[in-house]
Amino acid sequence: MLTLYGVARSRASRIIWLCHELDLPFRHVPVIQAYRLADPTADDAPLNTLSPEFLRLSPAGAVPVMDDDGLVLSESLACTLYLAGRAGAPIGPADEAEAALMTQWAFYGATAIEEDALTLLKLHRPGQAQDGADAGIVAEAAERLVRPMTVVENHLAARGHLVGERFTVADLNMAEIIRYAKGYGPLMAQFPAITAWLANCQARPAFEKMWQMRLAEPE
């Protein structure tokens, strides 16, 4: 059976969501990020990314990690693309061309969008006044996101989905990346196609199952 190490309040959320889309059973081993603990090396600390037993599995000390009957993979996008590729259409690729496009969109999201979107998630507080250095960092991150998100916006406005005109792992991966920026209204207001597409992605039952798991975890 597939074993997933990590927590839903991490990039493991992408793999959890996909497993629910594919009705793929998995064993979940909660591994919390060390930075979230007061003392991750304490004797009574929960299993975390600095625990020796986890570091033996993941020398990088980062979640998620996936063990598929001996194939150990890290990097969430590598995991989702692998699982979707193995499953094939409709969530995965129907042919090599679709597989290439799904990889392309995963790389685009990770390299052109994710870092600045995470900045918005970490520093912006919806509904609260913000000033000082954080406000400037948030504004600059949002400005940098306009160009790559315009690419996604135009593609979705024309086709509805990223690959194959159906919901696929490409949409799932990108939706989890853009979710980080969702709370920044001035940015999202510029992209109605992305906003509608993201709402449809997050209305899927498999996303809701993942999200309920995430909400049940401690913040």
Average confidence (pLDDT) over 170-178: 98
Instruction: Give the predicted TM-score (pTM) of the model.
Output: 0.95
Are residues 19 and 116 both part of a single domain?
no
Assess whether pLDDT exceeds 60 at residue 127: no
Structure confidence by residue, pLDDT tens digits, 180-216: 999 999 999 999 999 999 999 999 999 999 999 999 9
The CATH code of the domain that includes 113 is: 1.20.1050.10
Range of 166's domain? 96-206
Report yes or no on 160 lying in a domain: yes
Structure confidence by residue, pLDDT tens digits, 70-80: 999 999 999 99
CA–CA separation, 168 and 45 (whole Å): 38
Are residues 132 and 49 both part of a single domain?
no
The CATH code of the domain that includes 83 is: 3.40.30.10
Backbone angles phi, psi at 203, to 5 degrees: -85, -5
Structure confidence by residue, pLDDT tens digits, 34-88: 999 999 999 999 999 999 999 999 999 999 999 999 999 999 999 999 999 999 9
Report yes or no on 219 lying in a domain: no
Domain end call among 32, 53, 87: 87
Report yes or no on 41 lying in a domain: yes
